[in-house]
Structure 1
Amino acid sequence: MKQLSEREIRTAFVNCTKGEAKRMHVPKDLEDRPWDDLDFLGWRDPQAPDRAYLVAELDDRLVGVQLRTSSAGSWQTRRSMCSVCVTTHTGGVSLMVAPKAGKAGQQGNSTGIYVCSDLACSLYVRGLKDAGVGSRLHESLTLEEKVQRTLTNLSAFVATVTA
């Protein structure tokens, strides 16, 4: 992924108002992110732990999605699998819900996905971050195929947000 500026990030969001995008807390360490190893930029809002955001380049355009999660799931002790990167975690996967874009979202419609709570899917796929013993299933896929699967899964979720 190419390095993004704060302005590019704020203008990419499809399921929130311009005012909400202007007020969101964008990470201060953008220049320190491992951009070459990221398939998308994801972060949790430090001021509001129930809010999360992701920005991805899909079909040659930047798309940002605002997410909400519940801290109620943090007690979870059984292993769960991320729907984006197929990494299993004990307590490290959250149901994140995104309001739909446009009129559907204004009417309260939303869609959800189970995703790594820290939104570090790209790093788990590449083995740069460890989710613990048994977190990555043995697969015969190449790294490129795993990255493509991650992007396909993310793209499918974003498509449900924008549909």
Structure 2
Amino acid sequence: MQAITPQQIRSSFINATRSEATKLTLPKNLDSLHWDSLDFLGWRDEKMPLRGYLVLPGPRGVIGIMLRAPEGGAKKNRSVLCELCRDVFSKEDVLLWVAKRAGQSGRDGNTVGTLICADFLCCGNVRKEPPANEINPDPAAVVLRQIEGLQNRTGHFLNRVQQG
């Protein structure tokens, strides 16, 4: 992903009002991010912890999605797999993040949701090289497949939000 500015982030949201986009809290580490190892920019709003944001590169620029987490957080009695990174080894919480659909459908209250790592660590999760074994003799190829899968699944979720 290429570096993006705060203005690009704020103007990218397809399911938020201008007021909501203006008030969002940007990630503290925005200036020091390793953009080449990100497939999307995802973060939780530190002032409103139930709100999260995904900003994805697209053919016509970046597209942002505002998300909402459940009030109770993650259930501690069961493990859930993130639908984006599908990291089976991650010990991080996974939440059902819900997004208003874009356009009139979202203004009418229609939403879509998916299971995503609570702190949006998916880009790092897919870049962890597994040990070489008989099934996967080339760990670097596994990482490339995982990155491609993350990009495809994230794009699919974006499409579901856009289909207002």
Place the TM-score, normalised by the shorter chain, in its bin.
0.7 to 0.9
- Count of residue pairs brought into register by the alignment: 155
Q: Which amino acid aligns with 2:18?
A: K
- For 1:132, the equivalent position in structure 2 comes to none
| Identical residues among aligned pairs (%) | 32
Task: Identify the range of structure 1 (102-111 vs 11-20) with the bigger mean alpha-carbon deviation.
Answer: 11-20
Note the alpha carbon deviations across 1:75-114, whole angstroms, 9 max, x for none: 4232211000101345610000000000000000000000
TM-score, length basis structure 1: 0.87
1:9 aligns with 9
- In the alignment, what sits opposite 1:97? 98
The aligned amino acid for 1:6 is P
Distance (Å, rounded) in 1 between the aligned partners of 2:10 and 2:91: 32
Given that residues 69 and 97 in structure 1 are in contact (C-alpha distance below 8 angstroms), is that contact kept between their aligned partners in structure 2?
yes
1:127 matches 2:101: no
Q: Which amino acid aligns with 1:98?
A: A
Counterpart of 1:25, as a letter, is: T
Moved >4 Å (runs of 4+)? none
Correspondence 1:149 to 2:136: no
Mark the CA change 1:18 to 1:55 in structure 2 (over 3 Å): closer, same or farther: same
- Higher radius of gyration, 1 or 2: 2
SS of the residue corresponding to residue 74 of structure 2 reads: helix
Which TM-score applies when normalising by structure 2? 0.87
Preserved contact between residue 42 and residue 52 of structure 1 (Cα < 8 Å): yes
2:77: which partner in 1? 77
Classify the secondary structure of the residue corresponding to 1:108. Answer: coil
Structure 2, gaps ≥5 residues long: none
Inter-partner Cα distance in structure 2 for 1:77 and 1:36? 36
Q: Which amino acid aligns with 2:108?
A: Q
Residue of structure 2 equivalent to 1:113: 114
